[in-house]
Structure 1
Amino acid sequence: MTDPAPFPQHQPASHFILHISDTHFVSDGELLFGTVDSEANLRRLFAEFARSGARPDAIVFTGDIADAGDEAAYRRIRAVVDPAAAEIGSRVIWVMGNHDVRAPFRRLLLDSDAGAESVDAVTDVNGLRIITLDSTVPGHHHGEISDAQYVWLADALADPAPHGTLIALHHPPVPSLLEPLELVELRDQQRFADAIAGTDVRAVLGGHLHYNTFSTIAGIPVSVASATCYTQDLNVPFGHLRGRDGAQGFNLVHLYGDRVLHTVVPIGETPAVDELTTAQLRSWLA
């Protein structure tokens, strides 16, 4: 019988990003809503991921790092993330969310004293440009990108990067499945579409919604990671929101020469029903 797979159809990914969102850390000794252990969930994520042996180029957190912008919460998450990232050899990229506060976010996550201006940055990851865009509006929960930010973004995208660009922001430019979330979505999404159309942007990464979803904008894929703290129950009556302590997860982002692969990974162990190696499967298929 002919070998079912004599050679791979795709070369290995050029870049691998671990995409995590909405950790909502609280101060030491506290639980989110009195029941959700945000720190335990994130530690479980890293412990489970470490068993894969995978080595992402970067870990991108798309916002709502702290639930109320508390300094203690930022210190607490650094104590979890820094050693985990060092163990797998990955740099960490932080994105502002509507629950975050710029000054302590900058000081305690970015080791910067740049003040309360929008937290926007360009990071080169082995030829892949990752643009972090601050979509927050201080004192509010919806998302906006200012005129000054659009000027900055146009300049950042003026020249293509060797492996293209990812944009990471908290408020994703997608429709909201849950009606209440329309009140806190990214405003003027068409302007954002116009800003990235025709550029080398290969994908947009977001969070905020507390559930996984996927869309396109200006023909560019948008991937929204679920939360690690709690998630939204999508089986609710129209006009309702119901958070639940379950179905948490994270995303893997693999970039190939002509495509970007987004994969959803749930947090939490379940009983195994089978396990085999590539060699065993190849033998079985022969």
Structure 2
Amino acid sequence: MRVFITGASGFIGGAISAEFLKAGHQVIGLTHSEEGAALLNAAGVDVHRGNINDPQSLQHGIEKSDGVIHCAYMHGFDRIEAASRQESAAINHLGRFLVGSDRPLLITSVAAMGIAIPGQPAIENHFDPNQRNPRYATETAATHVADQGVHVSVVRLPQVHNTQKFGIVSSLLQIARAKGISAYVGEGANRWAAAHLLDVAALYRLVLEKNEPRTYHAVSEEGITLKEIAATIAERLNIPLVSLSVEEAQSHFGPLAMFLDFDMSASSEQTRQRLHWHPAGPGLIEDLRQYNIVL
């Protein structure tokens, strides 16, 4: 199978590319930079020059492929609105070039989109477009192209980690190091789901190979409390552990504060049953304890 991957040189996209190559598939990776092209070449990925803002480059990538994985995203808490607009446009372009085809399109979202009851784990068969998490734009666009007949599956991600990166937790590490305290909000009882990078990559492969359009959760740990995460960071950096009020969190964490009292636990029961996915990687706290702290 020839798989066209946006974001193929990134943290998650790179692992997905490696997983497909290991399974004997051909990978075509979208990149706009020389650095990205070098990384893809070194990994054995076929380089496709372009970017997600260029419909023609997307069309040419799709024309060479048997399936598409979209995992490129403009990250940054200070540019959420721009990222949402870019994401919606990219998904609509990808879908437009797949209408009338049975080739699968995998869209990347976040597990919190499946929260049906606040404080309860998110589930695969629920989507709330009115919640405060800005990634709602991803699934709204995915629903739009699915309504046009495109074979769309959504892979929702939790905090994806190895021993170098940890999703939003990486930002908590940076803030803790800069400010000399590791903080959480209130009692810190809200939970965040997590999964190891290699388990996530394996799930993308299973979803594409099965080509059964639906929503899947790449979740191996249903939820780790924010307090435990902050405590582990405090231990690794040898700094105080501090509880902040919601008001204090606004100034301490900046734009990230909107997520800090948010429960982002999630279930993957339906995903495991449908795909026989058995995540086996280390947990978030275990990887965080192995993080190479350079003081």
Give the TM-score of the pair, scaled to structure 2: 0.38
Flag the structure with more relative contact order, 1 or 2, with Cα contacts below 8 A and sequence separation at least 6: 1
| Higher helix fraction (1 or 2) | 2
Provide the TM-score with structure 1 as the length reference.
Answer: 0.39
